[in-house]
Structure 1
Amino acid sequence: MGIPVGDISDGQVAAGLAELADTGELADQSTLGMALADEQMAGHAAEKCCTLLANAVPSMNSAKALSAALVVSRRIPNFTTASRLSSASRLAGGLVGIAVELAATAESARAVLKTLVNEWGLQVTIRTLSTSVVFHTPPQKMSEQIRAVGEDMHRRCLDACIADLTTVDSETGSVLFYWSYLGEDRLNKLRSKVKEMIDGGQEVDRIAARFVSIYTAVYTESGPAEDSRQLGEFNLGEFEMIVPRQLWEPLIVERPEDHEEIEESDVSFGNRIRQARQTLIKVKSEPS
């Protein structure tokens, strides 16, 4: 009874995790390293790592845990596009959590976050952190290190949202991604910033356009998608978390073009404005 083809034994996983804990690295010929780099085996190997990771923690320090998270992310195919619930994100998130918890000071914990943002970009970093102790530790049990990283993360998310809102023809989608990671204090700051923008003359539909989702289509009704980006729906609930109805409703006035058909393959900012306006006009016209 050997190991099935495409599988990796618990012992091999444990050996690879021990190597990561001791050195922060995986040798090129490491069985775990090769499994994580294999598109067919990566998910299963990472899942086993998630299960056995706690056994490797005692011999880790912050620097090695951070290095291990980066090693894992570089090995796993398509790490940057993996969902936050994937074994890849959870494994990297577990290692990042260890790096933060074992950091000597709040400043060194913030340095962990800075390193990840430099390597992965903010969006992938936040997605990965969302699986870690930074998100899942109750406030009363937070260490100084976890609290420092959480505060820095919220600040960076707020900065990304404001940058998105103040870009003339935004293409980032930052508000729609980051608003739920702000924390209540910075969410209120974002609401205040948006109200300030509206009071200063910013059109509500241009703000609303940031809440129109864009998705990647593999196929359309006519066959394989050539330009795979497609216009999605306007996320009314998320928008009203930032811009309450009593604020936006008086400012949306119907125009003739608000009933024209929208081309879903056009993901331009102007088309996102039209998508948002059509939804807001429809909602405004419905009986309350």
Structure 2
Amino acid sequence: MTPSPRPPAPAGQLPARAGIGLKSQHYRDILETRPALGFFEIHAENYMVAGGPFHHYLGLIRADYPLSIHGVGLSIGADQPLDADHLQRLAALLACYEPESFSEHLAWSTHGDVFLNDLLPLAYDQASLERVCGHIDQVQTQLKRRMLLENPATYVEFESAGLDEAEFIAEVVKRTGCGLLLDLNNAYVSCINHNRDVRTYLNALPLHAVGEIHLAGFAEDRDALGARLLIDQHGSAVDAAVWALYSETLQRLGPLPTLIERDNDIPALRILVDEAARADALLRQERAA
């Protein structure tokens, strides 16, 4: 497969600050208090509607803050063509708000005309590699911008895979010129679940391509054999182990835009702002080093 030409870069760039996900229950509080945050991130699919309160408030908040748009429904890894209508709506959303960053998951969620409302793992084999690279080329060409690809959180994996996950991601980045959204919570969750060393995994990723970092909380359970099982549920504070990985990553890569993810059990805005402030403190510490 011939390496793809590098796509054009977005017009802006997220600041190397901490941001949070924009949630509807916080709209008014944000406009009233103007918290000291580096940026907000939205899930693209929540705004693929014409008009309404979501767009009203996003427009007001976007006027004062940098914006990252994160997709969860493109199904980059699916064994079928991308949904052309979905991609067109996504292109229209990005044209409207001109975000500083756009990202998607390395996962699949469609089969035929069925949308499974989950981010499912794919086999890291040659066929998947060709398909994912083709899909990313299509996305970057239509959006006229570089996208970031997020490493997944997984609970099962395919025996037939020819590459490990980090090798697969590195090859995708090399072939397509896309960037990497480094989700440190996902990395920790997957490595615990598959009994791997998370630092070895991170060392094998194309860290030079990281454009944004995600931090989130996980839930803990036990599998059928009684082994520790972590669930990427985004419903709690960032775990101490993930904070440790974050600090190490900043020491290695320098300050990078960092999102505090919280999609379930949404707390008061001040709690998320405080957690973002902890990330900002580590970013300032690294800048001063």
Superposition TM-score, scaled by structure 2 size: 0.33
Q: Looking at both structures, which has the greater relative contact order when contacts are Cα pairs under 8 Å and sequence separation is at least 6?
A: 2
The structure where helix makes up a greater share of residues is 1
The structure where strand makes up a greater share of residues is 2
Q: Which has the larger radius of gyration?
A: 1
